[in-house]
Structure 1
Amino acid sequence: MLKNEKGFTLIEMMIVMLIISVLLLITIPNVTKHNSNINNKGCEAYVKMVQAQVQAYEMEKNKIPTLSELQTAGYLNDIKGCPNGQEVTIDSEGNVKAVEKTDS
């Protein structure tokens, strides 16, 4: 009577769960390891974008802007730091750099 019923046994289900667990244990550390690298690349891209907006502002207004002036004039929508936690600054020559945040 029971020979025609098809399905997974408890052992088969346990083996599948074991395989899935092993795969998760292998992939999760790799993803977190690359997270800081991704954030650093995002910061580099953000600095280049802000640098381009500084140059555009400088050509139009003939002066080096601050971050708040870029936002007020519509060159930047939002003044935010880098994804890796660094702060973006503009020096007196118009060069944009990412520096570690200083707690005040």
Structure 2
Amino acid sequence: MKNEKGFTLIEMMIVMLIISVLLIITIPNITKHSSTINDKGCQAFIKMVQAQEQSFEMEKKRVPTGVDELITEGYLREDAKGCPNGKTEVKIDSDGAVTAIAKTTAP
């Protein structure tokens, strides 16, 4: 019999066990932080819309009627109606204040 070097089945199973334990520890932490990531993304989006609203107001000397006007005038992209999480819309008040409101779903 030749002396061949390689991993035994026991060694491979120990490595797989260690990798599995590491995955079991890290995956819940990642999913727990996804809501925080979505909240931060929404806050950043609202600040961007506020900046674009102020830019519109400085150039046009009036408050935009809504997010749709910012989109048609080229201040925002077409898909920029709400937060990246898809659960919140952005609204511009008559005084120029940008607020986030929960999306309503049609029945």
What interval of TM-score do these two structures reach, taking the shorter chain for normalisation? over 0.9
Aligned to 1:82: 83
Aligned to 1:43: 42
CA offsets 1:72-99 (integer angstroms, 9 cap, x no match): 1110113231123211111111111111
Give the Cα separation in 2 of the matches to 1:70 and 1:83.
18
Give the gaps of 5 or more residues in structure 1: none
User: What SS is found at the alignment partner of 2:90?
Assistant: strand
CA offsets 1:15-68 (integer angstroms, 9 cap, x no match): 111111110000000000000000100000000000000011011111111111
Count residues with an aligned counterpart: 103
TM-score (norm 1): 0.92
TM-score (norm 2): 0.90
Alpha-carbon RMSD across the aligned residues, in angstroms, is 1.1
Give the gaps of 5 or more residues in structure 2: none
User: Relative to total residues, which structure has the larger helix share, 1 or 2?
Assistant: 1
Percent identity over paired residues: 68
